[in-house]
Structure 1
Amino acid sequence: MKIALGPVQYYWSRSTVMQFYESMIDTPVDIVYLGETVCSRRHELRLPDWLDVAGMLADAGKEVVLSTQVLLESGNDLATLRKITENGRYAVEANDMGAVHCLEGKPFIAGPYLNVYSGPTLNLLAGLGARRWVMPLEMGREGLAQMQHDRPSGMETEIFAYGRMPLAFSARCFTARNRNIPKDNCQYVCMDHPNGLLLETREGQPFLVLNGTQTQSALVYTLLHEIATMGDMGVDILRLSPQAEHTANVVDMFHSVIHGTQTIAQAYDRLLPLMPAAPCNGYWHGKPGLELLVA
């Protein structure tokens, strides 16, 4: 199995982003997804900057994929989408059907936000050019087994295997609302929360994380214990989502289990202190997402 690094979901400074990707060069990551998928107001890096990062990573031997924005809200967003889909060098991850339309006839990756839950849908996307699909976050092991049985020949399967889960997107900016300021004058307060803004219940329990227009799980989804099972199911790629600290170490833990240089127990013990919150894996087992089931 290969390891993919998903797009950065948070709003970091330009220097932080550049340093982050420079630090990924020497890691065993095989595939890197780049681009702003959450909010077009985040402009520390524009498309030419992302292409510069892509060139740096490609020169280091990484497969680079440009990810499109999930929720497009303006003509400028659409213009950026078209530039990404017409970049001519790098593969593109389509995160909405508008992107699929722009990419029709070209090889592309069907992102997790397309919500592919059936064989006929996957076959339809394959006919439009999809060569890889990313399983929806809420899909469990049983659903994946059926999809693997039904997937068309040559279609790669990628699983979100680590990180806070992106659960929903909205036209509203919840981080700005938390400061009682409008979205159009948000003052880029997302940058104050490099791992998102934790939302707790009235009892003080972690519930969700606010990340601008995106809502995430409060806990960290991890399928480290399921690597062997996913390998047996024919999964090709594991996606790890970047976090503000320790991402390279997280990559090393997954890589060590895939290649047998650490036991799952050893890697898990070392992974726990690297997480920004407690682990969960409920969706994989067909349970509520915040649950954790470890044999």
Structure 2
Amino acid sequence: MKLSLGPLLYYWPKQTTEDFYYQAVKSEADIIYLGETVCSKRRELKARDWINLAKEINHQGKEIVLSSMALLEAPSEIKVLKQLCENGEFSVEANDIGAIQVLSEKKIPFVVGPAINCYNAHVLKLFVNQGMHRWVMPVELSRDWLQKALGDAEKMGIRSQFEVEVLAHGHLPLAYSARCFTARSENKAKDDCELCCIKYPQGRVTETQEGQQVFILNGIQTQSGYCYNLLNDVDSMRGLVDVARVSPNSLASLNTLDAFRNKLLGGQAQFKLDSLQCNGYWHQIAGLTLQD
């Protein structure tokens, strides 16, 4: 099983972002995803900057993938999408059906990201025929569901044509909206947000009236309040999952990759599980649940 470092979902200063990825090339990640997937107003790194960064950290024994936006709302965003798809060197993670259309027309192999609703083997077959070589399972699905879908894919004769990737650690991206919740939390309009999400490098915590950390606000993206953690579920992933993804939120995410590598190699060390972690979706139970 390989390890991947998913695209950075938060808005960091350019230098902080570049420094993080210069460290990431020394990490246990086999695959590194680069790109803005949440909001096109986040321009500390533009499309050309992401492509140049990919070229800088390439040739370090890592597979580099450029990630596209999950919600396209303007012609300018289509232009950026085409720029990523036409980079000429790196594979692209498509997080919008429009990206799949562009990549398919240009006959460029691609990764289907977790933002795309792909729930059965028939859709997997459609994407394989269009050029998909890796599929990142939607975050809310379970091991049992994955096992059935891959069994159906095997019957269709397509299972060997793509890899399966699962988000194994990080705050889960649950929903996207045309509205910006971070701006709204500061009583700002989306069009006059002053890029306030850069003040929240790990998103903005939202609690219930009872004090439960239920969501993380990240621009137009709503994330799980609890951190998804499948480290102790690695053994149940073997034989089903080809790539385990760690979603970065700080330099500590690189240590998380170390822990997963150790577990994959048979190590016994486990994360100290606490009340702000969960793995319920993998076990087909309530998402906030943490099952030992």
**TM-score over 0.5 (shorter chain):** yes
Q: Is the contact between residue 95 and residue 110 of structure 1 (CA under 8 Å) also seen in structure 2?
A: yes
Q: Are positions 1:16 and 2:19 aligned together?
A: no
Corresponding residue for 2:263? 257
Shift of 1:58: 1.2
Gaps of 5+ in 1: none
Q: How far apart, CA to CA, are the structure 1 residues paired with 2:282 and 2:194?
A: 38
Deviations 1:129-178 (A, max 9, x none): 10110111011011000122123132110011000000000110010011
Q: How far apart, CA to CA, are the structure 2 residues paired with 1:85 and 1:150?
A: 30
Superposed counterparts of 1:184-263, under 5 Å: 184-233=191-240, 235-260=241-266, 262-263=267-268
Q: Are positions 1:38 and 2:38 aligned together?
A: yes
Shift of 1:114: 1.2
Shift of 1:209: 0.6
Q: Is the contact between residue 256 and residue 267 of structure 1 (CA under 8 Å) also seen in structure 2?
A: no
Corresponding residue for 1:95? 95
Gaps of 5+ in 2: none
Helix, strand or coil at the partner of 1:114:
coil
Q: How far apart, CA to CA, are the structure 2 residues paired with 1:238 and 1:27?
A: 14
Q: Are positions 1:161 and 2:159 aligned together?
A: no
Superposed counterparts of 1:273-288, under 5 Å: 278-288=276-286
Normalization by structure 1: what TM-score? Answer: 0.94
Residue in structure 1 matching 2:151, options 131, 149, 160: 149
Question: Which residue identity lines up with residue 143 of structure 2 in the other structure?
Answer: R
Question: Which residue identity lines up with residue 239 of structure 1 in the other structure?
Answer: R
Helix, strand or coil at the partner of 1:112:
coil
Q: How far apart, CA to CA, are the structure 1 residues paired with 2:132 and 2:152?
A: 15
Q: Is the contact between residue 33 and residue 65 of structure 1 (CA under 8 Å) also seen in structure 2?
A: yes
Q: How far apart, CA to CA, are the structure 2 residues paired with 1:142 and 1:95?
A: 24
Q: Are positions 1:130 and 2:125 aligned together?
A: no
Q: How far apart, CA to CA, are the structure 2 residues paired with 1:177 and 1:28?
A: 38
Superposed counterparts of 1:66-105, under 5 Å: 66-104=66-104, 105=107
The count of corresponding residues between Structure 1 and Structure 2 is: 285
Residue in structure 2 matching 1:267, options 266, 270, 287: 270
Helix, strand or coil at the partner of 2:129:
helix
Normalization by structure 2: what TM-score? Answer: 0.95
Helix, strand or coil at the partner of 2:238:
helix
